[in-house]
Amino acid sequence: MTLDDKPVVHIVGLGSIGALLAVDLLRFAHCSVVPLFRSKKRLEQFQKEAKSTVGVRKLFLENSPLFEQELQLGSSPETFNGTHINNLVVTTKTYQTKDSLQPYLPYIDNNTNLILIQNGLGVSDVLRNEVFTDIEKRPNLFQGVIAHGCFQDKDQIFRFNHTGAVDLKVARLPWDPEQIVQSYDSLSADVQENQLARLLTSQPFSKEFCVKFMTYQELLLGQLYKFIINACMNGLAATLDCENGEIAGRASGVFKLISEESLQVLKIEYEPFFNYEKRYSNMPNYPSLAISSVLNTAKLVEDVEYIACVLNAKSSCSMRQDILYLRDIEIDYINGYIVNLGEKYHIGTNANKMLKEMVNLKLHISRSRAATKGK
């Protein structure tokens, strides 16, 4: 089998978000998609059980239609044909990123475009310090912050349910954490010249998947906001094993502690970003951002209360679901990230530390109980 001259997108992590993206890329963009599985065994399962086909049911559309796409070119570390990887989408869980990239590192270089589409913060630090240590060979890095919801079907492993489509925010992620400010000119250059940026912003894909390509500082505002909301809500609802609405009006004290601590360390780690509003407001060629009115404790607590607990009262956060199914959780890249920053800057982050410990204990107890039951 040969690949035609369409852009080729490799996807490592054909789970909920990876499958959603694969199906819609094939439906709406001009490209080939190659899923990269964790092992030959997983690849063969995809080929035999699912006939190399991935399906996504759009639950929010009338009659919940199922869209299926064949992905003939799937590969694994054992079968990979050794071609250069031009575009790589990473949709594993945060804590799986390093291991999932390891087998493909010889095929990734400074001509590769790599996009992380994951929740949480801290993966780019792992890539910088532990994976792409040779500066000359670092890929062009992008970050996606996704507000689509998707989960795996109970009965079929390569079938997924798309629960809601909001948007996918995308920006070029700087390798140097100090270089967070990007101009509209640099954004346009990427959209015109970079193959992955061109593909993600091409029509009709961009419209159908609600892609918003933006400067890094614009993305960071949305990413930090979402991060703190998750830091307040996920670990707490998972530890208490409750739906979001069950703690409505009762948890603002905890939300306040988490938000305050998080903002304190994030303001140091992302100092150029928190100074951006003063330095760049009304500068031509740079977006204006309302950072202080969005990233402050009072506003964040109010939003977690209203958006997470009231508007999404019936939702069960992903971390609670992960514990329910005894899967690993992404806590090290949410509250754990804040704890690490606290250690780095010698600032106490006890509320985040406590939540991290509690949710890990909850997972441990759930696993122990399941093991005892199984005996």
Ligand X SMILES: NC(=O)c1ccc[n+]([C@@H]2O[C@H](COP(=O)([O-])OP(=O)(O)OC[C@H]3O[C@@H](n4cnc5c(N)ncnc54)[C@H](OP(=O)(O)O)[C@@H]3O)[C@@H](O)[C@H]2O)c1
From 98, 226, 299, 353, the catalytic residue: 226
* Burial 162-195, CB ≥16 within 10 A → b, else e: beebeebbbbbbeeeeeebbbeeeebeebeeebb
Q: Residues 164, 210: contact at Cβ < 8 Å?
A: no
Residue 260, Cα to own-chain centre: how many angstroms? 23
Of the candidate residues 8, 9, 17, 88, the single one contacting ligand X (CB under 6 A): 17
Residue 115, H or E segment: strand 113-117
DSSP code for 309: I
Decide whether 108 or 187 has the Cβ nearer to ligand X.
108
Stretch that binds ligand X, among 91-99, 135-143, 196-204, 217-225 (CB under 6 A): 91-99
Per CB under 6 A, contacts with ligand X among 154-213 are none
Q: Confirm if 331 and 212 have CB atoms less than 8 A apart.
A: no
Where in 303-322 is the site for ligand X (CB under 6 A)?
318
Q: Using CA atoms, how far apart are residues 37 and 9, in angstroms rounded to an integer? A: 14
Coil/strand/helix, residue 260? helix
Smallest distance, ligand X to C-beta of residue 80, A: 11
Per DSSP bridges, beta strands 87-90 and 66-70 are unpaired
Identify the sign of the CA torsion 183, 197, 266, 175: negative
Determine, following the binding rule CB under 6 A, whether residue 265 of this chain makes contact with ligand X.
Answer: no
| Shorter beta-carbon distance to ligand X: residue 94 or 140 | 94
280 vs 274, 283, 284, CA distance in Å?
11, 5, 9
- Beta strands 140-152 and 32-36 are unpaired
Residue 1 carries which side chain, given as an amino acid letter?
M
Q: Which is nearer to ligand X, 59 or 191 (CB)?
A: 59
Q: Is residue 108 involved in binding ligand X (CB under 6 A)?
A: no
Q: How far is the CB of 347 from ligand X (least distance, A)?
A: 26
Please tell me whether residue 257 binds ligand X under the rule CB under 6 A: no
Stretch in the footprint of ligand X (CB under 6 A) among 124-132, 150-158, 167-175, 182-190: 150-158
Contacts with ligand X by CB under 6 A: the residue count is: 27
Q: Name which of 257 and 334 has its Cβ closer to ligand X.
A: 334
- Is 16 a residue that touches ligand X (CB under 6 A)? yes
Q: Which segment (105-113, 147-155, 249-257, 292-300) binds ligand X by CB under 6 A? A: 147-155
- In the annotation, is 226 catalytic? yes
Looking at the Cβ atoms of 121 and 257, the one nearer to ligand X is 121
Element (H, E) at 197: helix 195-200
Asked if residue 92 binds ligand X (CB under 6 A), the reply is yes
Residue range at the interface with ligand X (CB under 6 A); choices 9-17, 212-220, 236-244, 365-373: 9-17
Binding interface with ligand X (CB under 6 A): 12-18, 36-38, 42, 91-94, 96, 99-100, 118-119, 146, 149-152, 318, 330
Catalytic residues: 226
